[in-house]
A = this chain, B = another copy of it.
Amino acid sequence: MLDNASPLPYSLKFSAMFSPDLLASLRDLCARHQRFLVISHLRPDGDAYGSTLGLALSLRAAGKDVTVVNADGMGAQFEFLPGSQTLTATAAVPPEADRLIIAVDCADPKRLGSVFESWKRLPDVNIDHHISNPGYAALNIIDPNSPATAQVLYEILTALQWPLTAEVAANLYVGIMTDTGCFRYRQTTARTLEIAARLVEAGANPTDLAESCYQSFRAERLRLMREVLNALHFANRDRIAWFSLTPEMYARSGATADETEGLIEYLQAVRTVEVAFLLEIMADGMTRASLRSRGTVDVQKICATFGGGGHRLAAGLRTRLEPAVLEKKLVDLIAEQLPA
């Protein structure tokens, strides 16, 4: 258990990121603390919430005092997660000095939010799967080969024999399921599926959790999808596809900005589409673009032109350019990279 300082079982399979030394350091650090704070990035997705709550509930089951916060508080879409009622918006008051801060699924400490920044403290522990994570904490466990931070946490929890209750399992399952797009995206391995099986054995209900994640949309989202499909654009022999989200589309559908999640995937499902993107004018007058590539085109490189970031297959940017101007530039830049 958590306070057990005996040697780690050496028979477990670790990737380089899960070296026994690193895990022993984490175990010892946590054994020395009674108070914890778990936090993840703003605009949290299923892996951010699932990892935050999964780790928090495991620590609590081990008898620890755990605060759970997020810059954006608890999103309605993930309120079904066990423990969600204990997550609050990041408080302006910094935590006690002896409260160990663990950041999960957050590649950049700036994305922990401005309230966190006002504390003038970096996280003590940084558990993540993003390759761009520079290792900003005192102790960093980053496995870029994992498709989700929840998978990294499963490896840690089982290696250290921390509690894996049904509630912890449900949270980690949602993290893995959502970050792999239901076990479909790159980096899904046999190990991912095996961990999913173990989490179901531990009490995660795969069909109930999938229904909560994927069959719980409002009718307004379907109406927004209709708006999107009526405003689709294709170029370069259907190899580029895109749409713009306008205030009129939100008004007609009644949908909100957090209901746009996943809409771009409908474009990616078309076999000719090498790059799909969406454009949106934000409340602050900036235009944002979100790009997805099937593999041929490096969209990170394109977004970097505008000061944006991401990785080869998924990247984004914000700019002061008008949507119509940006649209043309993006189509041109994508077309340059497409094979003839």
- Enumerate chain A interface residues (CB-CB to B < 8 A): 177, 181-194, 196-198, 200-201, 206-207, 210-211, 214-219, 221-222, 225-226, 229-230, 232, 234, 238, 241, 266-273, 294
Contacts and interface: CB of A to CB of B under 8 A. Distances in A.
A186 B207 contact: yes
A190 B197 contact: yes
B217 A271 contact: yes
Contacts of A216: 269, 271
Contacts of A267: 222
A222 B232 contact: yes
User: Which of A185, A218, A222: most chain B CB closer than 10 A?
Assistant: A222
A192 B226 CA distance: 35
Question: Which 8 pairs between the two chains have the least Cβ-Cβ distance?
Answer: A182-B182, A184-B210, A193-B197, A226-B229, A190-B200, A194-B197, A216-B271, A190-B197
Nearest to A202: B190
A191 B196 CA distance: 10
A235 to B, nearest CB: 12
Contacts of A269: 214-217, 222
Among A177, A210, A216, residue most surrounded by chain B Cβ atoms (within 10 Å): A210
B183 A206 contact: yes
B190 A207 contact: no
Contacts of A207: 184-188
A193 B190 contact: no
Nearest to A227: B229
A191 B197 contact: yes
A272 to B, nearest CB: 6
Contact of A197 (B181, B197, B210, B241): B197
Contacts of A182: 181-184
B198 A196 contact: no
Contact of A198 (B190, B198, B214): B190
A81 B221 CA distance: 34
Contacts of A188: 206-207
B234 A219 contact: yes
A143 B192 CA distance: 26
Contacts of A294: 211, 215
A312 to B, nearest CB: 14
Nearest to A190: B200
Contacts of A266: 222, 225
Nearest to A213: B184
Nearest to A294: B215
Given A197-B197, A229-B229, A217 B183 contact: no
Contacts of A238: 219
Contacts of A272: 218-219
Nearest to A216: B271
Contacts of A184: 182, 206-207, 210-211, 214
Contacts of A241: 219
